Amino acid sequence: MQTPPTPPTPPAAAQRLLLIFVAVAGMLVLVAGALLLYAMRDRPQGAAGSALSAMIGGKFSLTDQNGKPFTDADMKGKWQLVFFGYTHCPDVCPTTLNELSLAFDKLGPSAKNKIGVVFITVDPDRDTAAVLKEYVSSFSAPVVALTGAAPNIAQAAKDYRVYYAKHPTKDGGYDMDHSALIYVMDPEGRFTASFAPDDPADKIAERMKKLLS
């Protein structure tokens, strides 16, 4: 009995076109989401209740800077500002966490009872719980810093639509490329709004006042 012939492999050009199509389609989805979010930025309730709110966030199980388990369920009950980064980040991460700290100063002492900050590392190989604890102690904002197994970090990043990748350096080490939006999750765990990493403390505090009112 003759073995059926193996189907021909698609030419390299066709494979390249398919990859380009997938990349373009993905970019269009991201752009559409960004435009929708921009249109909703001044709504008192933000994106909550919209189709966009269901696209950001999801279940995760990680470990906080004190070595204790922390899941998405632990975020509920107060507003959360979720940010992905890493402790070796040279500029964006410390600047963002500093601006968040200044925003809390502007919001007043009671803000820490209503709003939290969740910092999720994209570099779990270096960012152990102990490293994260020392790092976030430099900031006055109420930060819960999370690490975990690489697959768990990858799933959390995927659910929050966060890009990250390891970038080798000339000295044999590496940096991490990553997107740096701050995601605002409401007390029920729904995505509501976002801030850019270069948004100043004044803007963050003003927007959070509107969401809290």
Q: For 7-49, write each residue's pLDDT tens digit.
A: 554 555 655 665 555 445 445 444 444 444 444 455 545 555 5
Average pLDDT, the chain: 85
Residue 55 belongs to some domain of the structure: yes
For 55-78, letters b (16+ CB in 10 Å) and e give bbbeebbbbbbeeeebebebbeee
| Residue 137 is assigned to a structural domain of this protein | yes
Residue 139 has pLDDT above 60, yes or no: yes
The number of distinct structural domains making up the chain is 1
Residue 189 falls inside a structural domain: yes
Question: For residue 189, what is the domain's CATH number?
Answer: 3.40.30.10
pLDDT value of residue 22? 47
Query: Is the residue at 89 inside a domain?
Result: yes
Q: Residue 25 domain-assigned?
A: no
| Residue 112 domain boundaries | 42-212
What whole-number distance in Å separates Cα of residue 46 and Cα of residue 49? 9
Does 46 reside within a domain?
yes
Task: Tell me the pLDDT tens digit for each residue of 65-102.
Answer: 999 999 999 999 999 999 999 999 999 999 999 999 99
CB 176 within 8 A of CB 88: yes
Q: Which class for 141: exposed (0-12), middle (13-18), buried (19 or more C-beta within 10 A)?
A: buried
Tell whether 16 is covered by a domain: no
Closest CA to 188 of 159, 204, 211: 211
- Using DSSP's 3-state secondary structure scheme, residue 121 falls into strand
Other CB atoms closer than 10 Å to residue 173's CB: what's the count? 10
Residue 37 inside a domain? The answer is no
